[in-house]
């Protein structure tokens, strides 16, 4: 990532230039660099502290006394200082997470992504649930709709849903003959659902909400720690006296940078999913009512003719029974 | 004339009347059939060795009805007891004397065994004559039916 001020190779290249002159200055000022042994001890300490993500950030900051962030971290400062301003994380769509304080007065997490892009915060009072309007919340909303429309109207209904999603600032994710998946700004989630339900008859709807606030916060803390570690490693790299020392530090630096990239990717993903809610719509045709061919009350077959026994005593004797009785 | 003579004369006259006015009918016994004697319910009955039986029944025309009535009465009785007509309508037949009669053919399924039956009806002012023929379906075949038909043409009654 460009904002992560270069990779390991650029750092290594830089570390080779003025090592001879700057190292002495650094040795003088750096508290841990009196001896190589002390350097190694400090390095190990930093390694341990980098893995302590669960440690409160305040105590770690106090222990590590990190220097102020340099200007090369375009995404770090606001996010680290306001880790729970989840709405502001909608900005990951833009380079660098240059988040501003969420302008939404209600702090609606779903409205915040839009606010980060300068869009009006109309979702402040609209979000899927009033309880989720806490600024400390980052919630991913997903909805599924089952709808029914007249025969032959399914493609038209799907087009209408896509149009409405785009009108809300959303976009198409997936489409088949009978389904469509769109993403709409979370601040307009409820309005979007209501709008979609105008297209066809809604048979079933379901909405799920996943709270990723805790995961997001943890990732931010880990990111802070890793950045601090990276900073220190860069310093150590600059102070390294021997090639083995440099290689060791660079190896660790590469690992830390990779982890930073990984966490930033995950943070972007979560922020994006929270900023845009996913709505999946399945549309089917209304079944045709079978035309009734038979009359509703079919006339019953005529009853058999009434059997009348004539008052003729010999008549029952006509037939094979008596005829064949030869005894 | 004394009364005893008159009584004897009247009795003789009634006896003669009874004999002379009773149902009487006959036909030629088909080839291969044997005439059975001493029949109570039939005026005539003959049987083949295979069990095909031909008979004549003579009953009073009471209640008095014409040919249509008696054909309908016999047909209705047979249908009610499981006989299925083979013809859509009764077939006209003639006696030896040219009298009009009607003939009907039926089959009946008795627990998987198919029987055939034929009935011909002739009516006079006083009597109803039925010619009945029947037997097991495989015995009362076309050849036997043809013999019976020929015999019906020789039917004479009073």
pLDDT in tens, A260-282: 999 999 999 999 999 999 999 99
pLDDT band at A296 (very low <50, low <70, confident <90, very high): low
pLDDT higher than threshold 80 for residue B23: yes
Local structure of A277: helix, strand or coil: strand
Q: Which of A305, A313, A320 to mutate to test the interface with B (most CBs of B within 10 A)?
A: A320
- Other C-beta atoms closer than 10 Å to the C-beta of A80 total 18
**Residue A121, pLDDT score:** 35
For A181-223, write each residue's pLDDT tens digit: 999 999 999 999 999 999 998 888 889 999 999 999 999 999 9
Greater confidence (A46 vs A316) lies with A316
Q: Which of A304, A313, A318, A321 to mutate to test the interface with B (most CBs of B within 10 A)?
A: A318
pLDDT band at A35 (very low <50, low <70, confident <90, very high): low
**Residue B122, pLDDT score:** 95
The pTM score is 0.38
- What residues form DSSP beta bridges with A276? A185
Mean pLDDT, residues A131-150: 77
Place of tokens 């075949």: B141
**Residue A37, pLDDT score:** 58
Spell out the residues 6+ positions from residue A243 whose beta carbon is closer than 8 angstroms to its own. none
The percent of residues in chain A predicted with pLDDT above 70, rounded, is 54
**Residue A109, pLDDT score:** 38
Q: Which of A305, A306, A312 to mutate to test the interface with B (most CBs of B within 10 A)?
A: A312
Are the beta carbons of A326 and B130 separated by less than 8 Å? no
pLDDT higher than threshold 80 for residue A116: no
CA B84 from centre of chain: 19
Alpha-carbon gap: A324 to the closest alpha carbon of chain B (Å): 6
Mean pLDDT, residues A4-24: 39
Place of tokens 């029987």: B115
Tokens of A244: 């083995």
**Residue B88, pLDDT score:** 87
Q: For residues A182 and A170, is the Cβ–Cβ distance under 8 A? A: yes
Q: For residues B67 and B101, is the Cβ–Cβ distance under 8 A? A: yes
Tokens of A134: 């806490």
Place of tokens 């209501």: A194
Secondary structure of A143-196 as H, E, C letters: EEEEEEECCCCHHHHHHHHHHHHHHCCCEEEEECCCEEEEEEEHHHHHHHHHHH
**A86-100, A234-248, A290-304, B79-93: range with lowest mean pLDDT:** A86-100
Q: For residues B99 and B127, is the Cβ–Cβ distance under 8 A? A: no
Q: Residues of A at the B interface (Cβ-Cβ below 8 Å)?
A: 307-308, 310-312, 314-320, 322-324, 326
**Which among B47, B119, B135 has the least Cβ separation from residue A318?**
B119
| Helices A19-29 + A213-239 axis angle, to 10 | 110
* Cα distances (Å, whole numbers) of residue B26 to A192, A277, B19: 103, 106, 16
> Could you give the CA distance from residue A225 to residue A228 in angstroms, rounded to a whole number?
5
Mean pLDDT of chain B: 85
> Could you give the CA distance from residue B116 to residue B129 in angstroms, rounded to a whole number?
20
The percent of residues in chain A predicted with pLDDT above 90, rounded, is 34
**Residue A12, pLDDT score:** 38
pLDDT higher than threshold 90 for residue A258: yes
Mean pLDDT, residues A289-296: 62
**A31-35, A64-68, A221-225, B70-74: range with lowest mean pLDDT:** A64-68
The number of C-alpha atoms within 13 Å of B87 and in the hemisphere containing its C-beta is 13
DSSP letter string over A280-305? Answer: EEEEEEPPPPPP--S-SSPPPPPPPP
Are the beta carbons of A320 and B57 separated by less than 8 Å? no
Tokens of A232: 């220190």
**Residue A205, pLDDT score:** 87
Greater confidence (A230 vs A123) lies with A230
Spell out the residues 6+ positions from residue A98 whose beta carbon is closer than 8 angstroms to its own. A74, A75, A78, A91
Mean pLDDT of chain A: 68
ipTM exceeds 0.95, yes or no: no
3-state helix, strand, coil in chain A (%, to 5): 50, 15, 35
Beta-strand (E) ranges in chain B?
25-26, 33-35, 44-48, 53-60, 84-85, 91-94, 100-110, 113-123, 127-136, 156-157
Are the beta carbons of A312 and B73 separated by less than 8 Å? yes
CA A194 from centre of chain: 22
Mean pLDDT, residues B84-90: 90
Residue of A nearest to B130 (CA): A318
Greater confidence (A189 vs A306) lies with A189
For the beta sheet containing A139-149, the strands, ordered from the edge strand earlier in sequence to the opposite edge, are A171-175, A179-185, A276-285, A139-149, A201-211
DSSP B41: S
Tokens of B33: 């059939």
Tokens of B93: 């037949």
């Amino acid at each position: 990532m460009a904002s992560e001020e270069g990779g390991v190779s650029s750092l290594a290249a830089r570390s080779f230039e003025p090592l001879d002159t700057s190292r002495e200055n650094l040795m003088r000022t750096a508290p841990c660099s009196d001896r190589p042994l002390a350097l190694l001890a400090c390095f190990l300490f930093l390694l341990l502290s980098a893995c302590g993500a669960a440690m409160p950030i305040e105590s770690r900051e106090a222990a590590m006394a990190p220097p102020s962030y340099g200007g090369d971290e375009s995404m770090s400062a606001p996010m680290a200082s306001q880790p729970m301003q989840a709405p502001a994380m909608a900005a990951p769509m833009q380079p660098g997470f240059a988040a501003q304080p969420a302008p939404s007065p209600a702090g609606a997490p779903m409205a915040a992504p839009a606010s980060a892009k300068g869009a009006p915060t109309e979702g402040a009072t609209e979000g899927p649930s009033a309880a989720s309007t806490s600024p400390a919340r980052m919630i991913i909303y997903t909805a599924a709709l089952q709808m029914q429309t007249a025969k032959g109207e399914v493609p038209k209904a799907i087009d209408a849903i896509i149009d409405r999603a785009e009108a809300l600032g959303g976009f198409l994710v997936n489409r088949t003959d009978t389904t469509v998946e769109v993403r709409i700004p979370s601040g307009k989630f409820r309005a979007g659902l209501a709008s979609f339900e105008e297209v066809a008859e809604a048979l079933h709807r379901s909405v799920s909400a996943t709270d990723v606030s805790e995961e997001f916060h943890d990732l931010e803390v880990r990111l802070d720690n890793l950045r601090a570690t990276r900073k220190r490693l860069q310093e150590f790299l600059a102070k390294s006296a021997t090639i083995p020392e440099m290689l060791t530090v660079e190896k660790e630096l590469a690992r830390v940078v990779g982890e930073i990239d990984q966490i930033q990717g995950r943070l972007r993903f979560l922020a994006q999913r929270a900023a845009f809610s996913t709505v999946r719509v399945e549309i089917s045709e209304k079944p045709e009512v079978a035309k009734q061919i038979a009359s509703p009350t079919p006339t019953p077959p005529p009853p058999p003719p009434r059997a009348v026994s004539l008052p003729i005593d010999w008549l029952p004797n006509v037939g094979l029974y008596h005829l064949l009785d030869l005894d | 004339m004394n009364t005893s003579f008159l009584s004897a004369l009247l009795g003789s006259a009634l006896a003669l009347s009874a004999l002379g006015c009773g149902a009487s009918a006959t036909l030629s016994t088909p080839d291969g059939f044997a005439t059975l004697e001493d029949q109570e319910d039939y005026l005539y009955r003959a049987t083949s060795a295979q069990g095909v039986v031909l008979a004549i029944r003579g009953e009073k025309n009471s209640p008095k009805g014409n040919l249509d009535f008696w054909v309908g009465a016999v047909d209705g009785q047979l249908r009610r007891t499981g006989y299925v007509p083979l013809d859509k309508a009764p077939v006209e037949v003639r006696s030896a004397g040219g009298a009009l009669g009607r003939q009907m053919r039926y089959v009946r399924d008795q627990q998987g065994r198919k029987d055939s039956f034929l009935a011909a009806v002739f009516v006079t002012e006083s009597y109803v004559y039925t010619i009945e023929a029947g037997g097991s379906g495989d015995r009362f075949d076309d050849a036997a039916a043809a013999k019976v038909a020929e015999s019906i043409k020789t039917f004479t009654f009073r």
